[in-house]
Amino acid sequence: MATSVDDALPRHHEATRSEKLVITASSLGTVFEWYDFYLYGLLTTIIAAQFLTGLNPTTSFIMALLVFAAGFIVRPFGALVFGRIGDMVGRRYTFIITLLVMGLSTFLVGCLPTYKTAGVAAPILLVVLRMFQGLALGGEYGGAATYVAEHAPEGKRGFYTSWIQITATAGLAMALLIVITVRSPVTGVGEEAFKAWGWRVPYLLSGLFLAVGLWLRLKLHESPVFKKMKAEGTASKAPLTEAFGQWKNLRIVLIAFFGAIAGQAVIWYTGQLYALFFLEKMLKVDGLTANMLTITALLLGTPFFLFFGWLSDKIGRKPIILTGCALATLTLFPVFHALTNAANPALARALASAPVTVTADPGECSSQFDPVGQNKFDTTSCDIVKNALAKAGVNYENVKAAPGTLATITIGGKQFTAPDPRQVSGDARKKAIAAFTAQVVGAPAVPAKGSDPAKPAVTGELAKVGYPTKADPAAMNKPLVVALLFYLVLLVTMVYGPIAAMLVELFPSRIRYTSMSLPYHIGNGWLGGLLPAIGFAMVAANGNIYHGFWYPVVVAAATLVFGLIFLPETFRRNVDG
């Protein structure tokens, strides 16, 4: 077996030049992959307008959701495919392939013809490329984490792999910064040009990032642990069967998932993506301001990935990860309440002084989350009330009424009764609903037709009692918003910083790539990646803007309990076997 200078070094030593190259090449390549993956999420509306214009509104909306979800859904399959290759062929070769697949897929999105020029082929190609992105990311993370960990000296594995953990946040921040820069009229092409063609620029830049990442990774050598396995003939011939078909290994997979990954996944997506969504959708902060506040918090929090990775080498992985889960369980609700007060104080005052209550027969109320666009929400009085509030993005509480009772809405002590759709139909029903909605929510001014005078805007009761239509930047406490977002990122660094090292240490080297990749991507691709959509659906169904946080709180709490009982400590384990 060929040896290198590093092979003769003691397991406790300062990082060598080649080890620094391993960290740099692995981390930078993974940053580029996360950048590529998150671009679609940031540009969903614009890309949908370019690729789904020939479809009816309902189909367009469904396709936009499917395209976004495709990348998350296929990540576990990428973990299976590339994990098997990584355990049989090698770590280095596998994540060179994943970088190529991700980089080329993203670059090609920037080259795709739009629906206007290619018809239905355009959205089909977009979905295919998005799925390739998900497959590549499913193979990337496990390979990069395994490769770095197997190069790390004893006692520094947490710190070394924490550089890989930075990459997801860094990739998101990088995508945000480039989109904002290109979109800005001062430094980029401007909003209108960006919507027309400038959206392609961030995608085309991935070609440059691919070249840099590939150049770095081609300089790398195979992991010493894998070389040793190949030389001794101990590499697995059937890693999938061995990892998931044998109870002794499957048991570890389940413990890793329920005792660490599940909580880590929901905390990561709550602290970074759902927090951004909450600012924009619930607190009505404009998109550019929300992006800038989020980027600031991400940049401030990123060094703590390294800190908690380093700390896990000293005190262990388990206490840091589970402390993060405990803090999330206890503080997510108060933190987001505080975020409301800081980002939109007018909304916070209205919620306190003029709470909104809906009194209705539960049997008449349907969920206001309607992904297929078929429900008009006009057949029951409850749906009429809740639909008006959902469109206005207003928080409300539910009170049960007797069957057959018309739904009412109480705003700061003043009650309004919804029209009875059973008594009117057709245009009369539409007019009644419009009048009720204008009374409660308000209505915009209607332009004049011919010689008729324009109808003025109608101020609804919600506006009269102080509910704002958007957050006032002048009233916003931006330092406090950044501090709260920073705290959420800090929770992310606690659960995410040490977890790569823990996953590597949990599994034997012969099936490590496969075993750690699948549960990680099921957790982060499905449980975490779909969290914003699930959270929004919970809010839409319940009416309370904070209701969606029960999802991450319950999952984090369950992970805490399960992890305390079953999750072993791993930081002193040898990863060579």
Cα dihedral 244→250→252→255 (10° resolution): 110
pLDDT of 1 above 50: no
* pLDDT at site 291: 81
Range with the poorest average pLDDT among 67-71, 380-384, 406-410 = 67-71
Q: Which structure tokens are listed for 565?
A: 């009982």
Report residue 454's pLDDT band, with 50, 70 and 90 as the boundaries: low
**Please, what's the b/e burial string for 398-432 (b: 16 or more CB within 10 A of its CB; e: otherwise)?**
beebeeeebbbbbbbeeebebbebeeeeeeebeeb
Range with the poorest average pLDDT among 39-43, 191-195, 331-335 = 39-43
pTM: 0.83
Round to whole Å and give the CA distance between 305 and 167. Answer: 10
Higher pLDDT: 502 or 73? It is 502
* Contact yes or no for 36/107 (Cβ under 8 A): no
* Contact yes or no for 476/343 (Cβ under 8 A): yes
* pLDDT at site 5: 38
Range with the poorest average pLDDT among 44-48, 327-331, 410-414, 523-527 = 44-48
pLDDT of 390 above 80: no
* pLDDT at site 372: 42
Round to whole Å and give the CA distance between 562 and 257. Answer: 10
Could you tell me the CA-to-CA distances from 523 to 266, 305, 439, 529 in Å, in that order?
A: 8, 19, 45, 8
Round to whole Å and give the CA distance between 288 and 300. Answer: 19
Cβ neighbours of residue 439 closer than 8 Å, sequence gap 6 or more: 416, 458, 460, 461
Range with the poorest average pLDDT among 351-365, 404-418, 447-461, 521-535 = 447-461
pLDDT 10s digits, 250-300: 999 999 999 999 999 999 989 988 898 889 888 989 877 888 898 899 889
Report residue 329's pLDDT band, with 50, 70 and 90 as the boundaries: very high
Round to whole Å and give the CA distance between 398 and 411. Answer: 13
Range with the poorest average pLDDT among 8-12, 105-109, 368-372 = 8-12
Strands (E), 141-195: none
Report residue 450's pLDDT band, with 50, 70 and 90 as the boundaries: low
Our measurement of the distance from residue 477's CA atom to the centroid of its chain's CA atoms, rounded to an integer in Å, reads 25
Our measurement of the distance from residue 150's CA atom to the centroid of its chain's CA atoms, rounded to an integer in Å, reads 29
pLDDT 10s digits, 527-556: 887 787 788 778 877 888 899 999 999 999
Our measurement of the distance from residue 78's CA atom to the centroid of its chain's CA atoms, rounded to an integer in Å, reads 18
Round to whole Å and give the CA distance between 398 and 409. Answer: 10
Round to whole Å and give the CA distance between 149 and 158. Answer: 8
Structural domains in the chain, sorted by start: 14-344+473-566 (1.20.1250.20), 350-464 (no CATH)
Say if residue 573 is exposed, middle or buried (CB neighbours under 10 Å; 0-12, 13-18, 19+).
middle
* Contact yes or no for 305/565 (Cβ under 8 A): no
The percent of residues in the chain predicted with pLDDT above 90, rounded, is 29
Could you tell me the CA-to-CA distances from 17 to 6, 225, 227, 534 in Å, in that order?
A: 10, 19, 20, 45
* pLDDT at site 10: 40
pLDDT of 45 above 80: no
* pLDDT at site 564: 97
Place of tokens 């007019």: 431
* pLDDT at site 320: 98
Range with the poorest average pLDDT among 69-73, 211-215, 523-527 = 69-73
In single-letter form, the type of residue at position 501 comes to A
In single-letter form, the type of residue at position 100 comes to L
